[in-house]
Structure 1
């Protein structure tokens, strides 16, 4: 009799589990869909097994790849899942990945806001500094903000109907008033689009911005939120951020990886161009013999500079050297050279 009761009870438990589990699974699936966040790879990036540059590289995600962002592991890395189900970590820098919730939709017409360009700004084809510049919007240009695509970019429409993305930084836009209606398409031809800033001009803007900091004191691991002092990578990052609104990784090794992932790395000094970043290994001595037999492919980046052309570097590397300065690319700098590459193309 007891055996029959036990069997009956087990049957009831199994039946209730069988009917409950599908419902639980469905609820979990619903939650996952509601909270799912997609990431789009803007520039080829290493896929690592840990949320750190010291993590082992387990793959390489090409530009245009789509991933699911599972978590923000720390201020520098996202935990993501690829389309084939592999889980790992990628840099959270916005030049590598743009992130949007899958449930996001364009703002309804009634939610759009008018804006006026108060400082010339790039209009890009993606909500990221790695997006192509499709136009340079001049001061006074009227826009309609359609949505805030991420923390750094608005999706906007110009008065001639052009769609694109501009930075959310306050100094570029004045927001408010009545939403601007798109102007009718001119007949027989549309109004000419604003011209994009030439690459050569952007490079000169970066160099001129860097030059204004000549003499700024050197400080190892300087505060990235001030310009009172710089270390080498902080100086380079500030020049590009301030001049062309392009935010590079915070340290020289990250910047070196960024250049390699863009596919612009060159390994000959003669191939360097004005405005390129130049990377160096540790100082081992003043003579060429001190560097003989070294496999530079395995050397760690310890310094970065901006190449000015004509064998000159704009950089900062020690307190004793006087802070930000111009140096000749000669002597031990030549022996320490690892590679260089273009940031702006």
Structure 2
């Protein structure tokens, strides 16, 4: 559990006057919720309120307030505040002890209501108005006109440095080594890190349709966690926010070496299944193909044949039955990045090529309409139409296959 995140969240809750009850000791008692099953995260405590996103199974949130018997006010790891159900089917609540947060060195008091924006410009979207009397933490001063700040709700944004709006004794961090040093060539970023070349959006997902968490400023260093597609890095910023930034060299100077699955690390039975499947590359597609021949395949017939020939396992003959078979083994994930070579992926129907085409879909209610074998390194082996050329290999990252994925898991 991220203790720094819990501590900062608790500090925000104290400012709001809705902190959990303190224990007699000097530690703070923070209420933490763990998501048990995918549940809506909304902008207000009502099912009519707009859904921000789905909280996924296994996520952890900070509980700021129990609004009523039906709703918690919570903060997720991206710092977004919203509301989710109190139903134990969706969330389990526990208490953790945290040391009291230290007072921030650089703070400012709002003198007059002022816009808090997503970037250091009046053309950037307004997050909210910071009200007179509020105290904000000043994170940096990117130029003479703007402070980068964090408000009492955990939002990170930018406000004017004008004393008409904020009273502060902000002192820029002193250089760690003020002595002059001879010029040298710029060093390359450390492995799996990136230096921001030009201000860029940090988003909640790998696409411009996802909400912006904040702008990452020029000169910041981020840790690169993964590269889910050619267009996006998954990164962690200096505040611990995890999100996605463009891979374009216009925005980031990156030194990232993606993990590669070594065939030697894949169990022999999985290699046999994959090899059995690859023997049929190019075999024509036919919906409802004959299960007793290998002249043509539909998706589930192909998966069934690969497992039968590669591992001697007889799977159900249709994709929904195969999905039930995998679920019964209990090792599934809705994120393809968690899967291993040889796992089977299950998909819903095609609704469009954009991520937004799948917004608001209740995946628990969707039927399986397609399945495929995961090869590792973002590649899937499957067949889905006559026009596509039959059995083939495709990438899953940042395309409709990713957006349609319901779950995947092992059949072994």
- TM-score of the aligned structures, taking structure 1 as reference length: 0.42
Normalized per residue, which structure has more helix?
1
Normalized per residue, which structure has more strand?
2
- TM-score of the aligned structures, taking structure 2 as reference length: 0.35
| Greater relative contact order structure (CA < 8 Å, 6+ sep) | 1
